[in-house]
Structure 1
Amino acid sequence: MAGPADRSDSGSGSALQAVFEQLRSAHTLSLTLTGPLCLAVIALDRYLSAQHPAAESYSYDLTVTDGRWRIKCQLADSLSRWVRTGSLRCGAGVLVSQLSMVHDETRLSHSYIRIDSIHSVVELPERFLSIQDVGSITEWCQDHVTRSDGPLQLSRKYYLPLWINDDPYGSVWAPYSPPPDVVIDVSRITLLADLEAFFHSSRRPLPLLVRILHRSRIRYYGKPGQNIDFPFQVYCEVADQSGVMSMVVWNDLCPEWFNRLTVGSVLYLQQYSLKHSYQNRSRPHIRTLSLMTFHSIEISLNPRSPASVVTVIPPKSVQPQWDLPDVPYNFATRSEVDSMNNNQACDIIGLVTYVGRVERIRSKEKTGPEKFWAYRWVHAVDGTTDSAFILEIFSSSQPEIFNNICPSKTAVRVHIHCISLLLNYLIYDLSCSAVTYLVCTQMRVCKTGCSVYLTSSTETHLFITGRFQPEHSISQ
């Protein structure tokens, strides 16, 4: 008897369809194929396991196709080693030898296919190479198979990036969009300096009008057995005319707001909470701003109890009379870095001359499931010396920039007096061309023996551009 891999894909049938028909008519929920079924892997998604947290921290959903149909399947926990070793990946071919139908009996009409055994992982067969758009392949979806954009284990609401946990990933993370025109009442607002009085009373604090000066990368605190839908946290440093205070965004609000709470944004905050500030965390170094910093309490934005209301004010609607401080920067030239103290913070700007490959190291944290940090080495020059900045840049929850830093094709020196002009272009123009200017904020000086380099921190923010015109700086 011919195995499913030998079945023709012509006409209305397909190898996947033949297998599903066999699985549906099988006496048990499991099907061992007489011949391995060759499929192409077009998506590989990871999430915190909900079924077997003690045995395996992460589960994987695999989207595969036979060229005629595509379907999302769960990968059995015993097969996760194929992912961890890098063998099973997007763009590979996989020979499947056993599948089963999984019914979630705690929910109505929720079932999915699980891949229980893999014969081998192979190079993508030639017949798949002609597929130009995997999204155009029809998704297999019948009554016994539930279509889902999220994890097949419905107790999980989100996917994680394949290796690191601190980047936004998946459709649940709302993309950046320009803030709409709004009308706000600034006649009854309070200042950061007055929040201490509200904290020690039962009165609900009045709305706040603040600007974001710094934003941390995403902190993911999910762990096995946890029942929080979105265990994420993001810190921001916000300021008004009276001072600077930390603001923490919790859980469901992170996917909704992270990409929209950009550095420099002006926020109108209502129904926020006040909490004792968490002292055991890193903070950005703010030395160029002559404002008081409040460390005893912090602003807490929660999705419920109460549900915080966040309004982003369009830049054209920000009024000078609000007296909000500008985003502070502490730029250092390459010639100044050698004389700076170890762990001192600075911002740098330069022309990218070298970019290393993305590397991974295991996190040093001892609690929670194993996770990795992603980083890459970058060299940049600013024209103040023949030496280049040596930058160790970790992923800063900005994958669209971190993964696309590229060396400039044109040799152009950056003059330090052009920093303010360059920065304006960097913030508002993130396109790419032959010249790549990079800004890294809140970098830390590392001195090891005779070498000096800069490493990123939790609060590091990246800006990049390619369309800055050097003649603008000359005319200035």
Structure 2
Amino acid sequence: MAALSGSSSECCTLKKALNRLISNTSSSPRTRTRSEPLYVISLERYGRDADFALRFPDSVSMSESLFDATITDGDCKIRVSLDPAVNRLISVNMLHCGSVIRHVELSRGEDSASFHVCSLEVDRVSGGDAALRALSSVSVRAIPWMGAEPSAGPLRARRSSYLPLWNNHDFCGEMWRDTAPSEPDAEDSEEEIDEISLNSRNPAAQITIIPKNQISPDWVLPDLPHSFICGQELPSCPQGHIGDVIGVVIFVGRPERVRRKDGQRSEIEEYRWLQLADRTSDKPIMIKLFSTSQPDIQSRIYPMALLVCTRLKLIRSAVDRATTFEYLTNTSLTQVYCTGTGSHPVMPYRGIRPIRQFLHWLKQVDESSLLERAVIGGYFGYPPLPVSLPNFMENRRGEAGLISGGEMKLECEKLIYREKRQFAIQCVITAACYHHREDSGRTQYSDLPSAPLSPRVRRQREGSEPHRTPVKRKLFSSTSPRKRLAPPLQPLATEDDAERDFSLFDGAMEFLVGEQEDDSNDEDEDEDFSTPPSSPMTSRLGLTRVANETLPRVFCYERRHVQAVAVGLQVNNFHKLLPQRELESFSPASCYTGYFTLTMRALSDGVMLDVVFLPAAPGNLHWMPLPLSHNNSWESILSHGGFSPHAPPPSPADLIATANQLTNQRLLCVLDACALGGEKMELVLNRAFPLR
């Protein structure tokens, strides 16, 4: 085969590598690029076919998918298939559109005209925006192909089109076209019609409206095509009720993924939380919308849009016997209409009474008040968990029980991009830090879990300002826990500092090195609360700073399309790619005032967990506290997930001053874990129940 020709320069990295490959006459030729960077400008997925096991016998259990990529060096580009061995890098979003790759090993395809990537190295040192910077002066679409332009279909399987990158349900791409519905059969079109005439007079017809609860099943009445329910009616609807809703979107959550098990198989489903406001209730209508229903619309739902969802199923969750929460989710018949998406033009429910009433309210509503509540993205946990340990454990019947720190670390390493999972683990809190909104709302987080430190070395927080003297407090001391701890405030810390950045640093020497109490009466008690010794090699999991993806953002109507991409899942084409810090250009929502970071130690094996805690507070319409009063102690706040709704919340300074409540306190912690991409693992504390 002749060497490849084209308009690319002679120093083109791809051209030189492929010419070496073509000139290699061995039975299975391969070549590897050197340290020159290559850039991934598209990534496309498709399902494997029946020949997969023959082509990749060592990768049968790795993935159900195959991937093609377009790579460039800036002078030319080529589309290649990727070996299933690199699928894991894609599934955790370490290899993605915009990645810089080096030392790429290439081989010839089966038809001798295509090329296959056997292995590669992702350059994580150059930064996430290296490809954007390197290709900023060229038109990526105008970069010439190396050789002939490839076909539009997949390279390694007998498939006619590609799938979405992150779900299996959105088949509305460029390769798909709408087709007219088929003509109904003559037998199906001949339906029996009964005509009923109602006299207006001589004699006048009498019409009686029968309430729903008086309709007998023996009448076998057909189901109504639409049954709209409002927010006020949701609490009185039975579990599993099927209904329709209409409202103004005031919250669109970030897309997340969850693993659903169906028999022997497990499939990843994409979903996002929505909140709708209607005229009837101060509480928003909660919807957990999966991508199984019109995912092309789901990705384009913005706050302040008018949304109609039909045939939703009501799910009810109980916090205690008297407190329940409801949300709606998809059924197989759910349809979605959202203004601004240009879809679903036929609305047969337009003229029915609930719709007319809602539209009448919409004309009179104060739009600015709704805009103030409009939020997009960020962590959102719903429905609320029970506030007592017995109720929580009862609700977990059939689910995995408590796990050790090492087991949790292994399970988190299995999570794929944006997959969310909940864990229950026994811990003690060894350190805490409060970060005020002004210090951390838009700034750094740690890209990697911080390195474990010796228990005798004070921990340096990443991103801390060198000129600030934080307020420090030991959560535990080497003295008896019954002794009063020293006041937390230091003379060098100003009052402003105390409100902005509170820190509780490691100080539990008897926990870390296994020292015994001097008081013999406390010996048994100390054994119960002891944890394994720590060492500089102790495993660690989580982030020491809140991730940008964790914070909810103020909705920006003027930049709503950019904001939706910034909040959404990783894109698969270079022309959609945004800088990694684009999300930071949108201000955190007013519901976010700050956060706690808690350092926890697993009781089972000493694994350290860096956890974010976002307590719900009175007046917060996004993270609303439970309607249950408590005394705002640390124990109550952690078990309720936030502050009491019937009392002013304590200031962070007050909480730090009472941190001795956590001394030697064993906790059963419920953690929400979400893989944010690469090695970023978000851990958010949902509940922490004291163990007696």
Q: Aligned-pair distance for 1:17?
A: 1.4
Match of 1:360 among 257, 267, 270: 257
- How do 1:167-182 residues align onto structure 2 when only pairs under 5 Å count? 167-174=170-177, 176=178
Give the match's secondary structure for 1:371. strand
1:459 aligns to what? 333
Unmatched 5+ residue regions in structure 1? 1-8, 105-109, 193-207, 210-239, 244-286, 294-326, 409-435
C-alpha distance in structure 2 between counterparts of 1:157 and 1:367, whole Å? 28
Distance in 2 (alpha carbons) for counterparts of 1:40 and 1:17 = 14
Identify if the C-alpha distance between structure 1 residues 465 and 86 changes in structure 2 by more than 3 Å, giving closer, same or farther. Answer: same
1:403 is aligned to 2:317 = no
- Indicate if the aligned counterparts of 1:375 and 1:392 stay in contact, CA closer than 8 A: yes
The yes-or-no answer on 1:59 pairing with 2:57 is no
**What does 1:75-90 align with in structure 2 at a 5 Å threshold?**
75-90=82-97
In 1, Cα distance between the equivalents of 2:88 and 2:261?
A: 22
- Choose the corresponding residue for 1:103, options 71, 86, 110: 110
Residues 257, 268 of structure 2: 8 Å contact kept = yes
- TM-superposed deviation, 1:388: 0.7
SS at match of 1:119: strand
Q: CA deviation at 1:373?
A: 0.3
**Separation (CA, whole Å) in 2 of partners of 1:116 and 1:71:** 15
Report how far residue 399 of structure 1 moved: 2.7
For 1:331, which of 225, 228, 249 is the aligned residue? 228
Report the Cα distance in structure 2 between the residues aligned to 1:406 and 1:85, rounded to whole angstroms: 26
**Residue deviations 1:114-163, cap 9 Å, x none?**
11111224333465341565332222234xxx722111024222322222
1:80 is paired with a residue whose SS is helix
2:156 maps to 1:150? no
Q: Which has the higher contact order (CA 8 A, sep 6+)?
A: 2
Provide Cα deviations, 1:76-119, integer angstroms capped at 9, x if missing partner.
12111111221011122222431111224xxxxx6311111112
Q: What do residues 278-329 of structure 1 show as CA deviations (whole Å, max 9, x unaligned)? A: xxxxxxxxx9xx9769xxxxxxxxxxxxxxxxxxxxxxxxxxxxxxxxx922
TM-score of the two chains, using structure 1 as the length reference: 0.56
Equivalent runs, 1:108-123 vs 2, <5 Å: 111-122=113-124, 123=128
Instruction: Look up the SS of the partner of 1:139 in the other structure.
Output: coil
Q: Secondary structure at the match of 2:31?
A: strand
Alpha-carbon distance, 1:336 to partner: 0.7
Instruction: Assess, with a 3 A threshold, how the Cα gap between structure 1 residues 168 and 61 changes in structure 2: closer, same or farther.
Output: same
- Of 331-340 and 389-398, more deviation after overlay is shown by 389-398
CA contact (8 A) 2:80 2:116 kept: yes
Q: Deviations over 1:173-226 (max 9, x none)?
A: 11x48x69x9x9x9xx6343xxxxxxxxxxxxxxx48xxxxxxxxxxxxxxxxx
Aligned residue for 2:118, secondary structure, equals strand
Say whether 1:439 aligns with 2:435: no
2:163 counterpart of 1:160: yes
| Whole-angstrom distance in 1 between the partners of 2:138 and 2:228 | 46
| Pair 1:242–1:35, CA change in 2 (3 A) | farther
Q: Distance in 2 between matches of 1:343 and 1:470?
A: 27
Distance 1:73 1:34, change over 3 A: closer
Question: CA–CA distance in 2 between the matches of 1:390 and 1:397?
Answer: 16
Q: Does 1:341 align with 2:238?
A: yes
> More strand per residue: 1 or 2?
1
* 1: CA distance, partners of 2:82 / 2:44: 10
Aligned partners of 2:221 and 2:145: how far apart in 1? 56
RMSD: 3.5
Q: How far 1:333 moved relative to its partner?
A: 0.8
Cα distance between partner residues in 2 of 1:59 and 1:474 = 50
CA 1:170 to 1:86, structure 2 compared with 1: closer, same or farther past 3 Å?
Answer: same
Task: Give the Å deviation of 1:33.
Answer: 2.7
1:191·1:242 contact (CA, 8 Å) conserved in 2?
no
> How is 1:175-190 mapped onto 2 (pairs within 5 angstroms)?
176=178, 190=186
Q: Is this contact kept in 1: 2:251–2:276, CA < 8 A? A: yes
Determine what percentage of the aligned residue pairs are the same residue: 29
Q: In the aligned structure 2, how far is the partner of 1:10 from the partner of 1:112? A: 18
Equivalent runs, 1:354-433 vs 2, <5 Å: 354-367=251-264, 370-408=266-304
Alignment partner of 2:52: what SS? coil
Residue 46 of structure 2 corresponds to residue 36 of structure 1: no
- The alpha-carbon deviation at position 34 of structure 1 amounts to 5.9
CA distance, structure 1, for counterparts of residue 79 and residue 192 of structure 2:
52
Question: Are the structure 2 counterparts of residues 191 and 34 from structure 1 closer, same or farther at C-alpha, using a change threshold of 3 Å?
Answer: closer
Secondary structure of the residue aligned to 2:69 is strand
- 1:37 Cα offset (Å): 4.1
> What is the CA–CA distance in structure 2 between the aligned matches of 1:159 and 1:20, rounded to whole Å?
26
Equivalent in the alignment of 1:134: 140
TM-score by length of 2: 0.40
Q: How does 1:269-280 map to 2 (within 5 A)?
A: none
CA distance in structure 1 between the partners assigned to 2:230 and 2:33 by the alignment: 67
Q: Tell whether the 8 Å contact from 2:172 to 2:296 is kept in structure 1 after alignment.
A: no
Distance of 2:238 and 2:114 partners within structure 1 = 57
**1:15 maps to which of 13, 16, 26:** 13
